[in-house]
Structure formats: structure tokens, C-alpha cells
Amino acid sequence: MTSTPDPALLDRALGAFYGLALGDALGMPTQVMSRADVVRVYGTLSGFEPARPDNPVSAGMPAGSITDDTEQAVIVARLLVEGGGHVDPLLFAEELLSWEKDMKAKGSFDLLGPSTKAALDAVTRGVDLTEAGKHGTTNGAAMRVTPVGIAFGADDTEWFLDRVVESCQVTHDTTIGIAGASAVAAAVSTGLAGGSLDDVFDAAVAMSAAGARRGHWTAGASISARIGWARDLVADQDTAAALDRIDSLIGTSVASQESIPAAFAVLALTNGDPWRSALLAANLGGDSDTIGAIAGAIAGAMGGLSALPVDAVHTLREVNDLELGPLTEQLLTYRTR
């Protein structure tokens, strides 16, 4: 018999999971758009919008729709629960392939990202699971790692990294892929533990640096260093100027070294406010749904579900038939053991 989680901890955990979905859905219509086009089309995005028919990824999706960021995070959460706190890499590969098959059957263009697709193609060709993800450097592991941060405390660095790597290995088993996912997972976990924004940044920087010692070495800028730099870059800037700096200097692509520091810059700009963080990410364009999902998850972990707009959460639930409560409670059973 499982015990009922502490109400404040459950609120923060639900804030993290629904915050991820919130940022994902707000960023859905602006993904793969340039910041200039976002400004031209929307002015300032102020809430959920449907995707434009000319968006090559999200065309046809109604306002409030989640994308692969939330759906793959749900897969990770479910596998963690079913695996007794572990993610089986072979089962994960099978689940991701099944998910993409279902998406194609629906006529969706929102499919697997480049690193995940390449890794799973390798798995289907018989490549060993420990080798399939050795080129994965994009942000797919980071976008879906929030359940790891919900389920586990980050006090024991190496033990925590073992849990992060399990969720990365099959698709993003590189120094960059693991560093990015480690930063996000540690930030979420620290937020759940009641940490401040300073604590969240410190945890992300430290865990990302440690995570960069795992996996196959890949050349690239330090995500740990870029997270700290991104925070300084937007300090004392007004919103429009800060977004322009994020766009032009940090970058908003699927590259982990861009989108993950961009999400932390947004958090710094809003002082960790979940709704504003998700909205500002949507206004960036680029990989805005993933930047929003990461920022929303971390901010939601700090502020809790009670800090998210009630009507926005209702929209997420209704549009996507999304109920994250039971799964979140199951994840917390590992944290409190």
C-alpha cells in the first residue's frame, strides 16, 4: 500500500509535469518559425493559439495541443513506474517506435527528432543498444527527462546521473545529450525539493558538468557554462531586448547547447514564473515548444500546480485528454522511499 504524498510536494510535482505540457502547448504553433516571423504573425503571443496551416510540423493542430515533448515524457514516466524506478532501454526504443507509428497513422508531421530517429533506425538494424545513441546531441533527452526529476532527489550526484542516463542512453548517449538532460532533471528535482531559482541554477550547472563526463565524447560547447552565461546575458534587459539576445546569441535550435541554455535564460528573465516563462519561450520561435516545455517544467516545479493558471490547465486536460495526476503520484513513491 502506497502512502499519500505530502500535499506541497505533490503540488510541485504536478506543477512540473503540467508546466512541461503548458510550455509545450504554448510553443506548439510557433515551432520552426523565426522570431521575426513570430512577431510579424502574432505580435506578442499571449495565450494558446492554433497552428497555422503553413507550419510544416504542427499544421492542423488546435489551440492547446501538446506535442512530442509531453507525449515522450509520459512514456518515460510510465516506463519508470512499470520498471520499478528504472527505464529499460529496449522497451523504451520499442515504445518510441510504436509512438511514431501511431503518429504517422494519424497523419501527424510531429514525429521523432533527428537524434532519436537516427538511434532507433540503428536499433532496428541490430546495432547494440549501448552504441545506438552515440551520436545523439540534440535536446530530445532533455525535453522528456522531467519525470526523472520528479521521481528522484538529486543529492547523490552519481546515483542521480545513473537514473538520467537510463532515460538517455538508447538515443542520446553522448556527453552533450546527457549533460543537457542532467541539467533539466536536476533543476526539476531541486525545484520539487523547495529550492529557489538560485538553487535551481546551481544544481543545473553542477549536474550538467557532471553529466558531461558520461556517454560518448562529442565536441561542443559546455552546456553547464552556457547556462550560467545565459543567465547573465539577459540580466537587466527589458523583455523584447532579452528575447532578441536569446534568439541571436544563445540560439533556439534543437541543438542542446542552444535550446537548453535558452530555456534557463527565459527562467532568469521571468524570475521563475511558470506562465510567463512558457509564454516568452513561445514568442522565441525556433524549437519553442521544447524551450517552453523545459522552462515550464522547471518553473512549475518551483511554483507548483497552484501557480499555473487554472483555465490553462483545464484547456490542456480537455484538448489533449491529459490527466497526469495518477502517474505523478506513482512517480513520487520512488522519491519518498
- Shortest CA distance to 129 belongs to which of 88, 177, 76? 88
Q: Is 216 helix (H, G, I), strand (E, B) or coil?
A: strand
Crossing angle of helices 197-211 and 288-303, in 10° steps, is 120
114 alpha carbon, distance to own chain's centre: 16
60 alpha carbon, distance to own chain's centre: 23
The answer on whether 69 is annotated among ligand-binding residues is: yes
Q: Give the whole-angstrom CA distance, residue 40 versus residue 119.
A: 37
The answer on whether 44 is annotated among ligand-binding residues is: no
The answer on whether 11 is annotated among ligand-binding residues is: no
Q: Give the whole-angstrom CA distance, residue 129 versus residue 187.
A: 28
The answer on whether 252 is annotated among ligand-binding residues is: no
The answer on whether 157 is annotated among ligand-binding residues is: no
Q: Is 322 helix (H, G, I), strand (E, B) or coil?
A: coil
Q: What is the radius of gyration, based on Cα positions, of the chain?
A: 18
The answer on whether 68 is annotated among ligand-binding residues is: yes
Distances (CA, A) of 227 to 81, 147, 187, 280: 30, 21, 12, 17
Binding residues: 67-69, 287, 289-290
**Residues forming the annotated binding site for Mg(2+)?**
67-69, 287, 289-290
